[in-house]
Amino acid sequence: MAFKTNKGKEALFTEINITPLTDIFLVLLIIMMVVAPTFQSMDNAISIPEINSGTAIEQKNAEIAVTKEGNIYLNGKPITDAQIAGELIALKASLEKAELVVKADEKVKSAKIMEIMNAAQEAEYKKLILAGEPLSKKAQKELEKK
């Protein structure tokens, strides 16, 4: 595309027409404005994800189970919050590895898990494993019967 200028020489048309580009961006903006509120409403349905892969937990580790009521069991034996560190220290001598497995119901508050983590640190456990599968209702009932 060439056109003549005042001086009689041919010049190239070097301007870019941005109208189609602007139209595309406006359409994309409208689509995002319509779709964005649906992403915000999804937060109401958050639940704990299921684990599809991972490593199996060895049964020779110390295991703490926490029920939804907040009851704590160390290897099936009921203990109180104040006894956690002492019981872990006493149990540590009989373990091959200083590892602790924590299984908790999904309703358990994070503060309770943090107390257990602090007690494990105080008892100088080298590894803390949080089980991805919480206690089943059947397992909770079995612990409460003991």
Strand 99-104 relative to strand 127-130: parallel, antiparallel, unpaired?
parallel
Q: Where are the domains of the chain?
A: 2-40, 62-145
pLDDT digits (tens, 9 = 90+) for 70-88: 888 888 888 888 888 888 8
pLDDT digits (tens, 9 = 90+) for 103-112: 887 778 888 8
- CATH architecture of structural domain 62-145: 2-Layer Sandwich (3.30)
Rounded to whole angstroms, the Cα distance separating 12 from 2 reads 5
pLDDT digits (tens, 9 = 90+) for 27-72: 999 999 998 877 664 434 333 445 555 555 555 678 888 887 788 8
Residue in 122, 116, 114, 110 with CA at minimum distance from that of residue 65: 116
Q: Are 98 and 58 in contact (CB under 8 A)?
A: no
pLDDT value, residue 12: 73
The sign of the dihedral angle between the CA atoms of 47, 138, 74, 77 is: positive
pLDDT value, residue 40: 60
